[in-house]
Amino acid sequence: MTEDIYAFRYGAYGNTEAIIAKNPGLALQYFNYINKGTAFTDEERRRLGLDGALPPSPRSLASQVVNSAEKVKNKSDDVERYIYIRSLFDRNATLAHALIKSNIKAYMGIIYTPTVGYACQHYSSIFRTANGIHFYPGNIERAEDILRQYAHQGIRVAVVTDNQGILGIGDQGAGGIAICLGKLMLYTQGAGIAPWHCLPISLDVGTNNKALLADDFYLGWRHERLTGTDYLRFVQRFAKAFRAVFPNALCQWEDFSKQNAFAIRDAYLHDLISFNDDIQGTGAITLAGILTAMQIKKEKLEEQVYLIHGAGAGGVGVAEQIETALLEKGLSREEARGRIYTLDSQGLVTTDRKMEPYKEKFAKDPSRLPWLQQAGDGTLENVVRNEKVTVLIGTSGQSGCFTREVVQAAAANTSRPVILPLSNPTSMTEALPADIYQWTNGQALVATGSPFPPVEHNGQSYRISQCNNVFVFPGVGLGSIASGAKEVLPSFFTAAAHAVSQCVKPEAMARGELLPPVSELQDVSLKVSQAVGLTAIRANVGHLCAFSDYQHDNDEEKLNRLITKMRWQPEYLPIELAP
């Protein structure tokens, strides 16, 4: 058991100050939270029983980062780079995070999208080291005992998936845990939640991916997916165990199928400190881009007409977040929903047809739309023209569906249309940024879901802002934890959206940029966590964790001090011997 080898010593603010080695010796090299590799100093080697176990010339962490970066550079492709960085994390978590931090813009595309999609699809063949927890029907009844094995790490956040709705590539079975691993690395990079406080969890309820079931080397549970009551009981058993073992930890639901995503999020709103990033994180980062656009346009949120093309989890999540923001502006629920239109594969979502329950709240009564005479009239272009849409959002996964005619129809409704083709990967984007700028003569305000290079138009270069959830979920997590929030409210995500938008510099807005660059992730996450934590306290769902004596400060000062102290940086900690 790892708790027999090491423990953590925490400071007054819950920050990790040192690692306690309970049994010195060679085994210390084999635990990734302790291991420093060649950076163990001469004094540490003698004191910790490592004398002679390493080459005689120690390296600094900075030197290790340079050396590791060169190794990554020399790999043949991003898949090999992904394998190298994951293997480095499994040997030396501090060095892996120091490497990623050295160039977060470059490495984020390796540790997460788009490369992580390949890692999910080929999980069994590239498997190196076990990470996290795999629950399946054979062990779910022992879930509480299994979770308790990680209690010594003081788990603060878990990313949990049932592996069914992975990154636009669908059911990936056991491979979905790679998403959890990537998201948690970003929790550490953005929010500074130390890697030992993070727990990836796969709810392996089987797979309907026939290629995986036919693969002799597939590592997951070899059965078709549980459904109905069996599926719900499985999730309930996990949720009950998680609440019992980690009552103060955040549970982020990740990459569930559309209907399950909403059902599970809503079922555990009050039982767990939880949220669904595909729904709420997507909604918040999209709202952030829209808020910035309103500053650029000098217009009001409540004056816009919104159309979301793609009424899945992400699309409805965007609609929900816009609705929440409009309610906070003083609109009634009916008025707010009246400004939001959703489309799916059948066209405009209307009340006169059968649909999944999660789509119903934004369905339109066709009798109130005189231009909608028959089912075929509810096309994307018709809705944009007839309802005077000014904000066009794509979450459909339909490449090229934002055509010249659709984009120019939006441009006819406003001097500066907001066009957000958010589907990823790049091959699924609703429109290419270069085309949008050309069709609108550079007047559109654009952000995308996938990363795109700058666009040159009329002699001007435009940086394409990326609507990336990474600006939201790490800060929401840290703000919830630091404030002691007992549930995650919709207002947390509105607060997060405002905080992200406020991080866009005036000179960037003057260039039409809607979101900050990824290189500013740590600063953005700090602002988001502070905004979310303060929202929790003011909503009376949070109470500041009593980590220190700061009774002379007000709540905001207490919170900001606590968050700053809690954030871990990838630097080697002192290692102390147990008394």
Angle (nearest 5°) at CA 449 between 530 and 525? 15
Looking at the structure, tell me whether residues 97 and 184 fall in a common domain: yes
Q: Is 437 a catalytic residue?
A: no
Angle (nearest 5°) at CA 136 between 248 and 222? 155
CA dist., res. 334 & res. 481, Å (int): 34
Q: What is the pLDDT of residue 555?
A: 82
Q: What is the pLDDT of residue 167?
A: 73
Which of 190, 222, 256 is where one domain is finished? 256
User: What's 448's domain CATH number?
Assistant: 3.40.50.720
Looking at the structure, tell me whether residues 64 and 153 fall in a common domain: yes
The packing angle between helices 61-73 and 93-102, to 10°, is 70
Give the total number of structural domains in the chain.
3
Q: Is 183 a catalytic residue?
A: yes
Q: Which residues lie closer than 8 Å to 479 by C-beta, 6 or more apart?
A: 485, 492, 496, 528, 529, 530, 531, 532, 533, 534, 535, 536, 563
Catalytic residue among 13, 112, 268, 462: 112
Helix H, strand E, coil C: the string for 242-267 is HHHHCCCCEEEEECCCHHHHHHHHHH
pTM, entire model: 0.94
Looking at the structure, tell me whether residues 141 and 119 fall in a common domain: yes
Please report whether residue 269 resides in a domain.
no
Please report whether residue 69 resides in a domain.
yes
Please report whether residue 7 resides in a domain.
no
Mean pLDDT by 10 residues, the chain (579 residues): 84 92 90 96 96 96 98 96 97 98 95 92 94 97 97 95 87 96 98 98 98 96 97 97 97 92 91 95 97 98 97 94 96 97 95 91 95 90 97 95 98 98 89 96 95 91 94 98 94 97 97 96 98 95 61 77 95 95
Name residue 21's beta-bridge partners: 6, 577
Q: What is the pLDDT of residue 543?
A: 77
Looking at the structure, tell me whether residues 94 and 215 fall in a common domain: yes
Looking at the structure, tell me whether residues 202 and 126 fall in a common domain: yes
Cβ neighbours of 444 (radius 10 Å): 25
Catalytic residue among 36, 183, 258, 527: 183
Looking at the structure, tell me whether residues 459 and 377 fall in a common domain: yes
Q: What is the CA radius of gyration of the chain?
A: 24
Helix H, strand E, coil C: the string for 513-576 is CCCCCHHHHHHHHHHHHHHHHHHHHHCCCCCCCCCCCCCCCCHHHHHHHHHHHHCCCCCCCCEE
For the CA atoms of 404, 408, 409, 410, the dihedral, rounded to the nearest 10 degrees, stands at: 110
Looking at the structure, tell me whether residues 325 and 458 fall in a common domain: yes
Domain that includes residue 537, residue range: 471-566
CA dist., res. 208 & res. 39, Å (int): 46
